[in-house]
Amino acid sequence: MTREKKLKVTIDSRELEVRPNTTILQAARESDVYIPSLCTLEHLPSYGACRLCIVEVDGLRGYPTSCTTPIEEGMVIRTDTTELRSLRQEILKLLLSEHPASCLFCEEHDECKEFQGTIRKVGVTTGCRYCPNDARCELQEITEKVGLTETSYPVYYRGFSVEKYDPFYDRDYNLCILCGRCVRVCNSVRLNGTLSFKQRGKLTTIGPAFDRTHLEAGCEFCGACVSVCPTGALSAKVSKWYGKPDTQVTTTCVYCPVGCRLELQVKNNEVIDVLPNYDSPIDRGLICVKGRFAIPEYVLSPERLGTPSRLTPVGYEVISWDQAIDEAAKRLRGTKPEDKLVMVSPQLSNEDLFVAQQFTREVLGSDAVISSMMIDLGDDLVPFLELVTSSSTFDTIEDARGVLAVGFDSTYGYSPVGIRIKKAGREGALLVTLGACDSNLDMLSETAFQMEPPQWAEFLGSLVDYLARGGKGKVKIRKEWTSDIERISRIFSDSSTNILVIGQEAIFSSGRREIFEKARTLRDKLGWKIIVAHPYTNLLGMLAMGAFPGAKPGEFLKNGDAVTVDLPVIDLAKRKKVVYLIGEGRFDTIPDCDYLIYQNGLPPVASRQPDLILPASLFTESSGTTTNGEGRVLKIEKATEPFMDAKPDWWIFNRIAEKLNKGKLKYKDVAAVQAAIKKQVKGFYGGRKPVEFARINAERATKWLRGAPKQEGQSSGAGNNPSYRGIPLARVVAGMKAIDEWVNTSLLSDKEAQ
């Protein structure tokens, strides 16, 4: 890169050198000159709506807005003259004439700010009914900076009714100043397009088409608009009355394998809100509804398990940890290895998974540490893992010239991947979608193919054959597809980088085995990149840590040879003596047993009552790491103390092992676990580069699963139902339930329409 030549400019009589290709506002900021501004925001295109950022520039007529005026060599700029100051005050007054403003000019203002942390500063008659007053209001800040202490205009109340019918956030457009930040973030950053300005002049409002609700209009509930709103017009339902958070803790989301970085907002030892981190190279701050809105309600759920308890003939009895550990040890002692089964969730941390496998192997003397995820995949597990471990990084999408997405929709999940795909499409890459109904990528796709999932494999097969032969020779293709396949094949074969994205619907479709095979051909024969958008958060960590039958820690990592997965045959129809579930909440996949130990944060979704309940802490309550879908090892940071008497999973294993007098597990803390991992899994905490996995021999996929419950082809398991530690988010998070119901009804009406 050639070094950009700096420009010489004068700002407020100071001679400065600034970067070229920026605006006056940006240049001023970078030189520590303050210019008031409201509508502009980093990451968003400039818009010039609020006009507070006006400046004087020699040779330019009038007062240009600095956020939209490019900086030029030799410019002489004044940012703080008497005229500018009075103009700004006037502009702000006009702006405030439509915004309830009593909190801004109140005489008690200063005292109030310091001593009176009330929710509502002023009477509801002033229109301040829904302002969250959470210290994020930029109007308050600007009014002070611009030095406005009173207003001479009467306030015009627009009298809109507050929109509270959508999940997760409320909208009080009486407080809106029409800065357009939300419209811009929704359209240019999220590439979603739910929001737009409607009407004009005095009647201007913001919202979706035809008075639709946000749910109907295709909103992702990503909350980006809420985060950028400089007023109290948009506010999160759950957190709005909490006021200002005490601290912020940076951590990683464990709801899916993207591994978005999150800023947990903590107050009084509770996670009250979650904000994105725009500096995160993984997700670029483009988090989805789950990370943004579905964490506080889950971790603070009134259903949380807080004390160990055991089932007695008259119900559950609360017991101490000592009693609980005794009880667990008593049941696990003496049973033969084949009578015991340990099941772990792929949403545990690397450290917990490592200790889980060590516990199973060294303490219980068994190799049977499995996961309901393995049962979801059944005999297609090995081909699936083969693809997952060779999945490409998300950044590859940015350079892709062709993207084919099968059964993928990123409305309510995987949005950092979905938005990258949309961006590629908008910047001219060929984007083709294959799905059963409309997907949120269709808007930017060149072609959106709609057909029933059983046909996807065939379609893909035809495309692969056609591509493999370079259009020569005879390929059997259904008549109705021929011209389309020929057309897109031509573009795909001209493109330097192509990516196949396999979405959850494809992973849970009946033809998945074939889809996986075609994907392998695309990757190995035609050099395509593959991204598998599966729901199992720390699946790669599970493999790396060896929390997997027949594979010790580190065996799956790259060190030369391909690995052959030799799965022991597991018979779910055979009754077990003890089943020990860690973070597994679905019981449709577990075998019958005499004694059931349930270690989790929330009660299970099942009729079978566990015999022993061990309350576990959640990812906001204990530290560790998780491995994302690209193989990056990311930090999970403890933000609050565990709920009541809940404990981290590794701690519980430790205690039971102690009781059983099996020496090895003597971890003092997570750091000790990590030290052990470092010894056994070389290079795991290596740094910024993703962990690399060995090639898995997919040809030798054995039939390993017996007696598995019949699955309904399609929507099995975690597929369409995001969950954390086996508990569907929709069960504990009201907004997720609303989304769930909406998705189901719209799917139904789509079907009826067809």
Chain positions contacting other proteins, by CB under 8 A: 187, 192-200, 207-210, 212, 217-218, 442-444
Pick one of ligand SF4, ligand FES, other proteins, none as the site partner of residue 414 (Cβ within 5 to 8 A by kind).
ligand SF4
220, 297, 505, 584: residue in contact with ligand SF4 (rule CB under 6 A): 220
Report what 223 binds from ligand FES, other proteins, ligand SF4, none; CB cut-off 5-8 Å by kind: ligand SF4
Count of C-beta atoms within a 10 Å radius of residue 64: 18
Q: Which is nearer to ligand FES, 178 or 597 (CB)?
A: 178
Tell me the HSE value of 517 on the side-chain side, using a 13 A CA sphere: 13
If DSSP states are collapsed to H, E and C, what string results for 56-112? Answer: EECCCCCCCECCCCECCCCCEEECCCHHHHHHHHHHHHHHHCCCCCHHHHCCCHHHH
- Asked whether 7 and 70 are in contact (CB, 8 A), the reply is no
Q: Is 259 in the site for ligand SF4 (CB under 6 A)?
A: yes
CB of 76 to other proteins, least distance (A): 38
C-alpha 392/C-alpha 395 separation (Å) is: 8
Q: Which does 50 bind (CB under 5 to 8 A by kind): ligand SF4, other proteins, ligand FES, none?
A: ligand FES
Nearest of 156, 13, 162 to residue 95 by alpha carbon: 156
Under a CB-based contact definition with an 8 Å cutoff, are residues 643 and 626 in contact?
no
Q: Which is nearer to other proteins, 27 or 195 (CB)?
A: 195
- Name which of 185 and 397 has its Cβ closer to ligand SF4: 185
Task: Name the DSSP class of 329.
Answer: H
Q: Hunting for tokens 């950092």 — which residue is that? A: 416
State how far the Cα of 417 lies from the Cα of 394, in Å rounded to an integer.
6
Task: Return the number of the residue (97 or 196) whose C-beta is nearest other proteins.
Answer: 196
Q: Which does 583 bind (CB under 5 to 8 A by kind): ligand SF4, ligand FES, other proteins, none?
A: none
CB of residue 433 vs other proteins: minimum separation in angstroms? 12
Cβ atoms of 232 and 99 closer than 8 Å: no
Helix axes 350-358, 649-659, angle to 10 degrees: 20
How many chain residues are in contact with ligand FES, going by CB under 6 A? 12
Q: Rounded to the nearest whole angstrom, what is the least distance from the CB of residue 186 to other proteins in the complex?
A: 9
Q: Report in angstroms how near the CB of residue 218 gets to other proteins at its nearest.
A: 7
Q: Using the rule CB under 6 A, is 422 a contact of ligand FES?
A: no
Cα 222 from Cα 212, distance rounded (Å): 18
53/228 with CB nearer ligand FES: 53
> Binding marks (x or -) toward ligand SF4, 166..205, rule CB under 6 A?
-------------------xx---x-x-xx----------
- Binds 181: which of ligand SF4, ligand FES, other proteins, none (CB < 5-8 Å by kind): none
Q: Where are the alpha helices (DSSP H) in 278-320?
A: 289-293, 296-299
Strand order in the sheet with 7-11: 14-18, 7-11, 76-78, 56-57
Rule CB under 6 A: say whether 501 interacts with ligand FES. Answer: no
- Nearer to other proteins by Cβ, of 183 and 563: the residue is 183
Asked if 288 interacts with ligand SF4 (CB under 6 A), we say: yes
- Cα separation, 233 vs 212, in Å, equals 18
Where does this chain touch ligand SF4 (CB under 6 A) — which range of 27-35, 255-263, 364-372, 724-732? Answer: 255-263
| CA–CA separation, 615 and 600 (whole Å) | 5
Task: Decide whether 48 or 218 has the Cβ nearer to ligand FES.
Answer: 48
| Whole-number Å distance between alpha carbons of 176 and 450 | 40
The Cα–Cα gap between 436 and 453 comes to 6
Q: Does 414 bind ligand SF4 (CB under 6 A)?
A: yes
Give the integer Cα–Cα distance in Å for 736 and 85: 47
Least separation, in Å, of the C-beta of 99 and ligand FES? 15
Q: φ, ψ for residue 694 (rounded to 5)?
A: -70, 155
Pick the binder of ligand SF4 from 215, 224, 332, 419 (CB under 6 A): 224
Residue where the block lists tokens 């259903």: 303
CB of 342 to other proteins, least distance (A): 48
Name the minimum Å distance from CB 49 to ligand FES: 5
Enumerate residues 468-497 that contact ligand SF4 by CB under 6 A.
Answer: none
Contact present, 177 and 140 (Cβ < 8 Å):
no
Question: Which residues from 19-78 bind ligand FES, rule CB under 6 A?
Answer: 37-40, 48-53, 65, 67
601 with 615: CB under 8 angstroms?
yes
10: left (phi over 0), alpha (psi -120 to 50) or beta: beta
End-to-end CA distance of the chain: 54
Nearest Cα to 369, choosing from 340, 398, 396, 347? Answer: 340
Smallest distance, other proteins to C-beta of residue 434, A: 16
Residue 200: contacted member of ligand SF4, ligand FES, other proteins, none (CB under 5 to 8 Å, by partner type): other proteins
How far, in Å, CA of 489 to CA of 464, rounded? 9
Judged by beta carbon distances under 5 to 8 A according to partner kind, the member of ligand FES, other proteins, ligand SF4, none in contact with residue 413 is ligand SF4
Least gap, CB of 172 to other proteins (angstroms): 20
**243 binds, options ligand SF4, other proteins, ligand FES, none, Cβ within 5 to 8 A by partner type:** none
86 or 450: whose CB is closer to other proteins?
Answer: 450
Tell me the CA distances in angstroms from 241 to 130, 229, 238, one per residue in order. Answer: 9, 16, 8
Q: Binds 38, which of ligand SF4, ligand FES, other proteins, none (CB < 5 to 8 A, cut-off by type)?
A: ligand FES
Nearer to other proteins by Cβ, of 214 and 292: the residue is 214
> Are 616 and 648 within 8 A, CB to CB?
yes
Nearest residue to ligand SF4 on Cβ basis: 291
Minimum distance between the CB of residue 88 and ligand FES, rounded to whole angstroms? 11
- 197 makes contact, choosing from other proteins, ligand SF4, ligand FES, none, with CB < 5 to 8 Å by partner type, with other proteins
Strands 76-78 and 56-57: antiparallel
Closest distance between ligand FES and the C-beta of residue 141, in Å?
A: 14
Question: Among all residues, whose Cβ is closest to ligand FES?
Answer: 67
Quote the CA–CA distance of 227 and 291 in Å, as a whole number: 14
Contact 511, 457 (CB under 8 A): yes
* Interaction site with ligand FES (CB under 6 A): 37-40, 48-53, 65, 67
* Interaction site with ligand SF4 (CB under 6 A): 185-186, 190, 192, 194-195, 214, 219-225, 253, 255-256, 258-260, 283, 287-288, 290-291, 413-416
